[in-house]
Each structure stands twice: as structure tokens, then as C-alpha cells.
Structure 1
């Protein structure tokens, strides 16, 4: 396996705060809390818990993987900022993975090559969704009403994210290449509404840039005018 062998995985893109630590040759250590209102409160505690339960010291981490969404602004940024802060303090790499990729990856282990649409809650009576063939993403993540999701002949997959799968997606990408895709931001197509990502590379390591898909609720004075 290329890349770091002690990998910390963090995802806060949904109501689930999910953390895992993967060590080569050992079972993963996982800590999960389902609470959509207190991501910031629980994330740090769960990170400390998996480090302690693994028997490692923080300085022994080799890399960090964080789910970059899509997800609501407040919760999503908690995991990404946590990953970036630890990575900066330890001078270790931080990789981003589309959170929907991890859900599709887990499902594909028992259902290879099946067409699925991964769905997560976007609040405001909307959902985030992404279409897959096996583990290959064939649409970019989109936010819309549930009834607008194209599901003809495709299984709608609505299940919690396993942080171990998040790390495994990153490991698969590391085995293909050690280079990250250098992206400064993700462009959106206003013609398709707030939330259509124009270009999101598939099955590669991404920078830890959040996929919000929506414009922020808070506006500047100039934007309100």
C-alpha cells in the first residue's frame, strides 16, 4: 500500500459524526455519534477516543482523510477544519474524499457493478444525491427535492457513512497514484441551480475543500442591497 499507514478518517457531512483510525495489519478503531446539532462538541472527543483506543500517539499518525461532503455548511466544516488543524500541527498530509463515494464504496463491496443513487439529507426538504455504477461516480453531486432525483431502474441508497469506508476509498486512490489533484475550488453551474458541481474528479484524492452546493444563508451588506 502506498502512502501513510496510520490513517485518521473524519466525516461530519451528515447528522453522524464519524471517526476511524486505520492501522496496517490491525482492525480499525471506530467512534460514531449521531447528533446533527453538536458536531463541534463531539468531533474532538471522538478523535481523542480513537487515538486512545488504538494505542497510538497523535504524533504517529501518517495522514488524515476527511469527508468533503456534500453537506450542510455548519456540520461539514467541523470535520474539515479538524482535519486541517491536526494535519498542520503534525505536518502530515490531509486528503479530501467525496462523502458519497465512501457510501457507494461500502455498498459496492457486496453489490459490485450495481447502479445506485446515494442520497443524504440536505435539510430544507431537499437531498444531496450522486449516481454511481459500482464505485464509479457517473454524476457530480447535486442538491434538489427528492422527487426530482432521477431513479428509474436505479436503487436509491440512503444509509449512514462508515468512516472506515472513507479511509478505504483514500487507500484505493493512493494505490493508483500518490499525487493529489490540485484544485483551488469547485465550480458550480448556476443554470442548474445552486448545487450542480461542474467538475469533480472521480476516484482520486482531493484537497480538503468543502462541497456545500448551496450559497451561504448569511449575506454581506452589499449582497443584501
Structure 2
């Protein structure tokens, strides 16, 4: 079975085609550009399929990172995955983007993953090992985390931005997600029958939207 994995929850626009039966990555495309998710994603999908000499109709499952991430970029990947899923009539499996970054580390000791949430904040989560998240992802200012992550290894672009807080930064590990890791993680869960671990393909924002529906309207007509 072929898995097509993609993620746009971070500045990385990443796509991978994975052969679950053969346990191998057939092709990948990874680009860093926080402003061009919509322009880069579909050409990346085409390039990956072309390099593997496959078409979309060969894909048996779609895997998509659900974040956490900024609204604009995150929705590009999710909308694309859902559109492909609906057109092809195949399942769309959601996974936490931070889990994909964690899985790629291969670490077997506790650590933290942090990505840039902008506004001087990070999206982050703790892990017991590369496959086991401890608690839910959160968004916080780095200074608020200092006591919780002291002495722990850390990975991710968010950790690199705030090295004074993430003092256990592992610069030897990739800071950004590759869809290849997301695909491998999904394939492992499918092989183990861990279907309940997949998330709906819906965005994990963690923040409230900036735009709010007014609750108090000013009366401008005569009473």
C-alpha cells in the first residue's frame, strides 16, 4: 500500500510517498518557505509522484500533519489532503506534526519538541521517547517553560529560536518535519493496528482566532 504524506504546519512544505509493504520511502520533496505553502504544495506532490513513476490513483492512504501551526499555512495541507481523499475515495489520516518531528529523532530518553508559533511563543510537547508523547501539545512563551524543561534535550525550530530556554538543544537533529517521518510513523501505527491513534484531518490551532464575533452591538436606530 502506498501512503502519500504531507504537512504544511510549519515553514516546511513537505511531501513524501511511502511504500508500506516494502517499508521504504519512494520519493520526498522538502522546501522551507513560510509564505508560499499554497504555491509549493501541489507542485511538490506532482514531483514526488513523478520521481516514483506513480499517480494519485495508486495511493491507498493519505497522511496529513494537523499541527499545531499557524492558521494560514496549516489549512493548505489539510484542505489539499481532504480534497484528494474525497476525489479518490480513500482515508485521510491525521497525525500531530510535533509527533512526526519527535519520531524522526529516534531518541529513547525524555525530550521536548518545539516549533515556532510566532508572537514570541512556541508550540511544544514533551516526549518520553520518539514514539510516546506525554500530555497534549501546548502554546506558551518560552520563559514560562523554563522550569518544566530544565535538563531535557530539545529539538525543533522553536527550540533553536530560544536557546537560552531550551538549553538541551540537539543541533545534530533536524529542526523541521519531513513528511517521510510522518509516513513512517503512520505505517508503523497501521501495522500495529493502532487506528485509534490517528486524528481527524482537522486543524490543531491551540489559539483562539484573532477575529471574534461582536457580543455587544451599538444601537444606532431610534428607540
Q: Residue 173 of structure 1: CA displacement?
A: 1.3
1:40-95 deviations in whole A, cap 9, x for unaligned? 11111111111111101111110100000110111011101110000100001100
1:213 aligns with 2:213: no
Alignment root-mean-square deviation, CA: 1.6
Q: Residue 32 of structure 1: CA displacement?
A: 1.2
Distance in 1 between residues matched to 2:179 and 2:217, nearest whole Å: 39
Distance in 2 between residues matched to 1:7 and 1:72, nearest whole Å: 25
**Of 109, 125, 136, the match for 2:132:** 136
Q: Residue 162 of structure 1: CA displacement?
A: 1.4
TM (norm. structure 2) is: 0.83
Match of 2:89 in 1: 91
1:163 aligns with 2:179: yes
Q: What is the number of residues matched between the two proteins? A: 195
Distance in 2 between residues matched to 1:74 and 1:224, nearest whole Å: 29
Distance in 2 between residues matched to 1:40 and 1:155, nearest whole Å: 33
Identify the structure with the greater strand proportion. Answer: 2
Please identify the structure whose Cα radius of gyration is greater.
2
Match of 1:6 in 2: 2
Which range moves more in the overlay, 43-52 or 86-95? 43-52
Distance in 2 between residues matched to 1:223 and 1:99, nearest whole Å: 38
1:60 aligns with 2:76: no
Structure 1 residue ranges without an equivalent (≥5): 182-203
Match of 2:48 in 1: 50
| Structure 1 runs of 4+ with >3 Å offset | 221-225
TM (norm. structure 1) is: 0.82
Structure 2 residue ranges without an equivalent (≥5): 157-174, 219-223
Q: How does 1:133-212 map to 2 (within 5 A)?
A: 133-134=128-129, 135-149=131-145, 150-158=148-156, 159-177=175-193, 179=195, 181=196, 204-212=197-205
